[in-house]
Amino acid sequence: MTAQLIDGNALSQQLRTQVATRAQALKAKGITPGLAVVLVGENPASQVYVRNKVKACLDAGLHSVLEKYDASMTEAALLERVEGMNKDPSIHGILVQLPLPAHIDAQKVIEAISPAKDVDGFHIASAGALMTGMPGFWPCTPYGCMKMLESIGYDLKGKHAVVIGRSNIVGKPMALMLLQKNATVTICHSATPDLKAMTLQADVIVAAVGKRNVLTADMVKPGAVVLDVGMNRNEEGKLCGDVDFDGVKEVASYITPVPGGVGPMTITMLLVNTLEAAESASN
């Protein structure tokens, strides 16, 4: 079997067009959805991420401001800036790009963001809302994975999903979202003794580890759906995921590529969350 690709670029394009249409409708009511992106320091990867996020907003007709600060910015100054954005009616979503310099407590900064503007979904109130099934912002990467499953009409009810990775931003929220859609969920991590024994039982596998070839063809049940969140570099410096794509695509029914899979969906869901924050603020 050769798996069908779930094309994150094509799905993103569709969803971003919908965001642009809804943003137009809000603009007609005098509200332009606005995202503030804050970057502290010079991390080269972060600089690329924030530029892409701002550009995606502008392309979809949203308002976006990028605030760049020197790595020496104090925690107190950043908290004060976040507070200012919480009060700014032109800003509906606030994203503080991580990682922050070591002298700043990132969790403290995230908790300072108003939950109503927490479009990254990292605030403890957002995490609690996801856990209890209440309305709130979902973290963009696992939310994007759910949209990918939705796009192929995949019904998770009664299926076994295995999530590899348990970070607060990908693995854990991913597991909760799959659970909410009635999958039976197993979470694997670095202390899981026999990863293959787990993944071989899975109808859906989400790999979110950050290590190449964590998932190989012999670990996948024929016909499983495989979503690859990982972002790594191979020997030639090319972007690749956690999944041995060439091997696994011969066993899986659906697979996401890297690049062009989950990555573009993450930014797309940021736009969706920002739009929805603005829609909520307008009601």
Asked about 97 being catalytic, the answer comes back as: yes
**Residue 73 makes contact with ligand NAP by CB under 6 A:** no
Least distance in Å: CB of 209 to ligand NAP?
4
Question: Residues 54, 142, 237, 39: is their CA dihedral positive or negative?
Answer: positive
Choice from 95, 170, 227, 255 touching ligand NAP (CB under 6 A): 170
**Residue 171 makes contact with ligand NAP by CB under 6 A:** yes
Beta-carbon contacts of residue 242 (< 8 Å; ≥ 6 apart): 164, 207, 208, 209, 210, 211, 212, 213, 214, 215, 228, 229, 230, 232
What is the spatial distance between Cα 191 and Cα 6, in angstroms, rounded to a whole number? 30
Give me the residues paired with residue 206 across strands.
163, 227
Per-residue x/- track, 225-254, ligand NAP (CB under 6 A): ----xxxx----------------------
> Quick check: 61 and 24 in contact, CB under 8 A?
yes
**Residue 191 makes contact with ligand NAP by CB under 6 A:** yes
Q: Residue 114 or residue 192: which is nearer to ligand NAP going by CB?
A: 192
Asked about 53 being catalytic, the answer comes back as: yes
- Residues 105-144 binding ligand NAP (CB under 6 A) are 141
Single out the segment in contact with ligand NAP by CB under 6 A; choices: 101-109, 165-173, 216-224, 249-257. Answer: 165-173
Q: What are the residues binding ligand NAP (CB under 6 A)?
A: 141, 164-167, 169-171, 188-192, 195, 208-211, 214, 229-232, 262-263, 266
Residues labelled catalytic: 53, 97, 120
